[in-house]
Structure 1
Amino acid sequence: MADTDFYFEYKGIYLTSFYHSPESMKYIEEFSFRPDDIFIVTYPKSGTTWSQEIVPLIMSGGDSVSVETLPYQDRTPWIEDTRLADLHFEERPSPRIFTTHMPYNTMPPSFYKVKPKVIYVKRNPKDVMISAFHYFGKIPHYKDPGTLTEFLHKFLDGSKLPYGSWFDHVKSWMNVEDKERIIYLNYEDMVQNLEDSVASIAKFLDKSLDTEVIEKIAKKCLFKNMKNRLSNNSTNPSIDERMAELFRKGIVGDWKNHLSEEEAKYFDAVCKEKMTDVKCKWD
């Protein structure tokens, strides 16, 4: 099947036709954001759903009851999703929390004008690639990734992937001139010490949390705990079917179980060439 059977092009990147549409993109082009809005920004398969659990808990002071009155995809919706218009977020009180996979240069006009706070999470691209390979292979709304070797080359090229190149995405956000309203987090650091990451996010969002609350949030958002909770308690049947795929392993370095030494070296060489103007370091 052709790419056009799955995707449409928006500002030079592919978007999945099942979740997005030209109409939904027009809607966010005209949407009015606020300076106190909060954005969770990631390239796909980089800890998005994880962050969508952590940030609302921080903003609620650890009150999980108030957070869980809405499914995660309704309390922190993707701005590019066709469902955003139905959620009436223009009527919600501040601070509102949004999610997006969009590169910086494709964000809506209002975003640049009001400069809301951004939490940007990046992950080792080799692990991103492996996670995307498994995900695309099991979700029918994406084009089949082919073999792992074929997908490796497709990932490194990036032009025909949803949201475009990982390299372009990371560089677009890392090279933003006005960094005062952006916090950059590594997925790997979150796995290693989630309490420190929760504390850093809370400080960035001007939320004063004591040590006990930070520990409580971190424990609730451990990968295994979150996977069990969301897989078993989602109120959206269509999301229930996808939960097992949204949470596959969540480990650091899974690429070592899939890539040959030659493939890993080739990947690193391409990464070094493409990321000369951005400092990123992973094991």
Structure 2
Amino acid sequence: MTENQPPDHEEKNLSSECKELLSVPKERGWITHLRQYQFQGFWCPSAEVFQAVISFQKHFHAKDSDVVVASLPKSGTTWLKALTFAILNRHRFEIQTHPLLTSNSHNLVLFFELDLYTSNLVPDFSSKFPEPRLFATHIPFPSLGTIKESNSKIIYVCRNPFDSFVSAWHFVNEVRPQSSSPLSLDEAFDMYCQGMSAFGPFWDHILGYWKESLKRPNNVLFLKYEDMKEDGVVHLKALAKFLDCPFTEEEERNGVIEAIAKLCSFEAMKKLEINKTGTFVMNWENKTLFRKAEVGDWVNYLTPKMEERMSKVIEEKLGGSGLTFKVIPELADPVQ
């Protein structure tokens, strides 16, 4: 499946610096008109993202006060962006007129590689980013450039790979060009288990942030999507404390934590007009971000053989790390 074809239209607009690096391994990506490029051990989902990562690493200068939301795609990113933005800005905005009611969180918390550094841009951070500056990324930890050496705060959300895969597969088929045939579940699953997914292998991505959170817990907060779903208030308090802006007793008495949790909930965000009609990166529709947000939905799609294969990959790659996942709710009936 490796492509050895000459550069297509996607590569013609790249900088000369980026073109010099295009000898990296290439594979057909999940979105048919885009190749994925292996760079520094992970897969950039397109040539444009590949170039943006290079530009980010070259030009971005982290500040100790920076806050970065990090994740693999389809792991709770939209939710964590909303929660982090709401917590940091809770003294600036009233719930009734909150920016999250009229803007998707992806347009309030921008990705380095999908927004800020695309089209070979070098963004101007002098005016539009009041401190603490809040950013997002899907880039693996080892490739975060100056952020690694700073005292920036990184919040990482991890979702169990079973659900993350199914969510990514659905999402890709929603945003694929209409002229393309759907990506089959079997093909996507095989690529995922081989590590060939956006910003993957998923196990390297997860382990990078997990190990750093153990080494520097004051700088990297590792959250599990399933735990957040189970007890949102506890994790909101932990998140605020990590960001050095803990909720006061008065805020707790006045229901501020519950109000933020409700504002940022899947149910509330899905109902908003902006999330029915608006767009985010690559002009993809916001509504593609809101499907089910359920824990254990994978049992409706993956066969026992698939479950066995994924479990073996997880055990082989993550076993011994101390990291475990809640992958299936009670009373779920797997696909036979």
Q: TM-score range by the shorter chain?
A: 0.7 to 0.9
Deviation, 1:200, is 1.3
Counterparts of 1:130 and 1:15, CA distance in 2: 20
Within a 5 Å distance, the mapping from 1:64-79 to structure 2 comes to: 64=95, 65=97, 67-68=99-100, 72-79=105-112
For 1:101 and 1:32, locate their aligned partners in 2 and report how far apart those are by CA, in whole Å: 18
Distance in structure 1 (CA, Å) of the matches to 2:59 and 2:260: 35
Output the CA distance in 2 between the equivalents of 1:36 and 1:15.
Answer: 27
Deviation at 1:198, TM superposition (A): 1.2
Correspondence 1:245-260 to 2 at 5 A: 245-260=288-303
Q: Offset at 1:277?
A: 3.1
Q: 2:159 aligns with which of 99, 117, 123?
A: 123
Amino acid at match of 1:149: D
Q: Structure 1's 19 and 45: CA in aligned 2 closer, same or farther, altered over 3 A?
A: farther
Deviation at 1:28, TM superposition (A): 4.0
How far apart, in 1, do the equivalents of 2:280 and 2:312 lie? 42
Q: Distance in 2 between matches of 1:206 and 1:224?
A: 28
Which ranges in structure 1 are unaligned for 5 or more consecutive residues? none
Residue 245 of structure 1: how far off its partner (Å): 1.5
Equivalent residue pairs, number: 279
Question: Of 81, 102, 107, which residue of structure 1 is paired with 2:144?
Answer: 107
Partner residue in 1 for 2:84 = 55
CA contact (8 A) 2:237 2:246 kept: no
Higher RCO (C-alpha 8 Å, min separation 6):
1
User: What corresponds to 2:265 in structure 1?
Assistant: 222
Q: Which has the larger radius of gyration?
A: 2
Structure 1 position 186 matched with structure 2 position 224: yes
Structure 1 residue aligned with 2:190: 153
Q: What residue in structure 1 maps to residue 125 of structure 2? A: 89
1:30 to 46, 56, 59: 59
* SS of match in other structure, 1:183: strand
Whole-angstrom distance in 2 between the partners of 1:132 and 1:123: 12
TM-score for the superposition, normalised by structure 2: 0.75
CA contact (8 A) 2:278 2:285 kept: no
Q: Which moved more, 1:213-222 or 1:187-196?
A: 187-196
Over 3 Å counting, the alpha-carbon distance change for 1:132 and 1:101 in structure 2 is same
Which structure 2 residues correspond to residues 133-282 of structure 1 after superposition, within 5 A?
133-140=169-176, 146-158=183-195, 160-176=196-212, 177-209=215-247, 210-211=251-252, 212-229=255-272, 230-232=274-276, 234=278, 239=283, 241-278=284-321, 279-282=323-326
CA distance in 1, matches of 2:89, 2:66: 15
Identity of aligned residues (%): 27
C-alpha separation between the residues in 2 aligned to 1:97 and 1:144?
A: 37
The runs of 5 or more residues in structure 2 that have no matched partner are 4-26, 29-33, 328-336
- Give the equivalent residue in structure 2 for 1:98: 135
User: Matches of 1:76 and 1:201 in 2, distance apart?
Assistant: 16
